[in-house]
Structure 1
């Protein structure tokens, strides 16, 4: 059976869906789409019906690409009002000859979270910092196969207010999606950029969304601080709307199809003519527009840099920038102007999604695979029949219950 994982990321402007196949620990994109949505403001749901309609549209597009209906997914959860804390747990090693197994790891992580989450909050992530066998001082990332009598772990747990999660879970249910797991979008961004080198460093990732800009600091691959800045790519559209008296739809189209991020990449001869809100024809000069966009991007990146300095006083080894606007021609040049050589733009290399708008949706499938591996689970979001349909060429051409959300997630990983 193929190992297929689906990630869904609901943003303020777009819903992104990515379906990946995991083969020999490599990720191959089977299908990906993004659809515009309303009903989300600054990461939080404001109109469930509008989001459901957009999500169903995206799922329909995925079905047309794959020939099967996607019914399960890992999803992103807004990190608004999130809390991160370090806790610890331990468990007696019960494996044969006191060899650590996935069952021992699950028991240790469960102990680390017991009575650690208040009733009004939901657990989103349990990220191990290190495991220790007995009194060993040196920790390891994966203790499976090691021997001893006691397994202990230091972990970072992330929680959010329950009201952040419930609307999204209801939306998924109405759209026919069973939520297998959920995680912060910032975690997905890290996994999309992750390398062995990054796993040993302290750095930051900036995701410039439409309404908000997410700034997160990571230490050895674990998010330790983050902040949501209430500004984003929308300001670029607003600048154009003000300058040329055009509507948002026209501004968005210009940003994606004509505009560049810097004067260095603009041409004096490039011009387009559009109709403004008053029915008048307006000629837009690419060089003039680039000056405005460059100034706005420098402001956004300067704001992000200040936020990083507020979040940590540690020496930062890298700053990676993602989000749809980072795909603009010349954006790398502007990011270097603002953040110097420490900055880089995320380079999505998976076939089919070479666009940074998919960084969170793609990265969370990698996170889930990593999580499943540590817990000794071999899992696919499609069954044998669907898997066979998925690989057949002709096919390609043609609830929330009273049970708590956290019990559902833990039930899947700990009880089965």
Structure 2
């Protein structure tokens, strides 16, 4: 599509769908052939890089930085970096309309940022609804296939920085990551043996996100394909992190630990709150408060993910695989460009339907190493013999 089409939809954000349809009929119908000829001529006469930079500069001059970010989630500089990273790869969907990578990235970011219908998004870009859907699927696949390293388990200096960050901000020592969960509504899946396991009591279908974050809210591992009804302890065992905790926790954590809520099993590598029956001592209460504060980091990131990438609440996919790819792509973009800082406590999203792990028929109160470690940390709270390091930047 021509450059003027892209600019027109940006400047016409205040129009509703009917306005867009009228605009399309009255203003663009007679000029479609001319625009296609201009696009072909542009591609023939300009190098690809120069043409895409021209598009970017025009869009940038049309919108302020705040306006640009409100439409596309990222700043112009971040968007330019994303285009640079994705440009070398083959884009099949954008060739249908003669789009450049810039068009594909901008359209996909717009679609991910809003809950408006695919038809409405297509109207804004003056293309077909099927192209918007195909473009979005391809964008998410390219992001997850080629930028997956944006979500990685902290090692070395990065791990030490996360440990220092949690100690400085919430006062929990040796904490490498925190884990939390969230729910994403889906259509009835057709690519799994038993779609009914994804149905909740209200007859709606959901997948559960299980996300691990460092001290700054950056995702370090995400699983987004399991049923909401599965208990957190079961999902953990099905993840790569859970398997590593079973097989070689030292190689994964190097003496550090993960923090989660009471739905997970307690061990020396995975700390949870003390069960509170109203008889906890002051230090155990203080420990639980610090665990709660640490968990707000990951819950805040999940909250921020769903607030920014509103499309994941209405993907309208009947495929767990496609849903998983879209969610992971959003998590990658979040970790690359939208890290969460100083998350408010009210972002907590506890699953009140899940029983604590120790109350399950197959549950237990924790390993001896975990019980001892949790007791030692609680007993140490309030000591001032060692000053905290302030590494939170």
**TM-score normalised by length of structure 2:** 0.25
Q: Which has the higher helix share?
A: 2
**TM-score normalised by length of structure 1:** 0.24
In terms of Rg, which structure is larger? 2
Q: Which has the higher contact order (CA 8 A, sep 6+)?
A: 1
Q: Which has the higher strand share?
A: 1
